[in-house]
Amino acid sequence: MTCNISIILPAKNEAESLEKLLPELRQNFPEEEIIVVDDGSTDNTVEICERNQIRVVSHVYSMGNGAAIKTGTRNAQGNILVFMDADGQHRPEDINRLTEKVERGFDMVVGARQMDSHASLARRIANTIYNKLASWMTGYPIEDLTSGFRAARARHFKKFLYLLPNKFSYPTTSTMAFFRSGLPVGYVPIKALNRTGDRKSHIRLFHDGFRFLIISLKIGALFSPMRFFLPVSGALFLAGLGYYAYTYFNWGRLTNMSTILFMASLFTFLIGIVSEQISALHYKDIVETTRRTVR
């Protein structure tokens, strides 16, 4: 028999916050499965989990937040998976709001942080840019691309495990994968709390922000290729056309640079078409499986 909900918390040296969070989780969800994935912690994370009679799965060394999410998912028995941070940002009482919306028909529900939940103005601006970019890539409004507080149907989420990176950007990949597969994604507004002990995030804004941007482009190219390749092709064509107009009116000839830009535009467009067909074939089995499940 499988339980209805599995709550998964990736944790690396979060003993201080877990000491307070785990009793609250157990009090609110006495019958549900709670799994802490110890990602190579060097503190007493494991001891605190055992003291609170919480199941813990340990990595022999730190593999990353995404790897911990995958380990927790593989070990979970619930029909609905709830992912939340172990640093005290997410409130246990908000879990019911996520799962209730899943039960109403959504396949993934994300806890969308309110603007004042972000630590700084720069982080707010960065997350707004990521949300806008991802919304354009997928064709759907995305309220919070990077929120780690979410609930998803286990049978769908497990199909995308091989796509998830081992580091911190699993929310980006999973959100876009669900949208591209035609699985409904909903949002619930939440208020993220300060981290326990007022510790700083492990994420470095500029370095990891650039990585978020690259990941968004990669996911867009994989799941919505023409939304990525068509604008690039158009930009190359306009550049070639503009340079050709400049050289024609000044010297009356077509230069090699214009020819190269026109050819690059054509090749980029053709790559986009091929990628779109490959992407459609990639999701064929997932779509068919979803239809059979609905029937």
User: Which secondary structure element, helix H or strand E, spans residue 204, and what is its range?
Assistant: none
Q: Residue 115 pLDDT > 90, yes or no?
A: no
The region that residue 5 occupies, defined by phi over 0 for left and psi between -120 and 50 for alpha, beta otherwise, is beta
How many residues belong to the chain?
Answer: 295
Predicted confidence (pLDDT) at residue 6 exceeds the cutoff of 50: yes
CB under 8 Å to 275, separation ≥6 — which residues?
Answer: 221, 222, 225, 226, 229
What is the C-alpha to C-alpha distance for residues 177 and 2, in angstroms, rounded to an integer? 25
**pLDDT value, residue 117:** 62
Q: Specify whether domain 5-222 bears CATH 3.30.565.10.
A: no
Q: In the predicted model, is pLDDT for residue 87 greater than 70? A: yes
Position 1 scores a pLDDT of 39
Smallest Cα–Cα separation from 176: which of 162, 190, 187, 163? 163
**CA 112 to CA 129: how far, in whole Å?**
15
Q: Is the pLDDT of residue 8 over 50?
A: yes
Q: Where are the domains of the chain?
A: 5-222, 225-294
Query: pLDDT tens across 205-261, in order?
Result: 555 667 666 766 766 766 778 888 999 999 999 999 999 999 999 999 999 999 999
Task: Pull the structure tokens for residue 69.
Answer: 């999410």
pTM for this entry: 0.80
| β-bridge mates for residue 152, sequence order | 81, 108
**Mean pLDDT in residue range 73-93:** 94
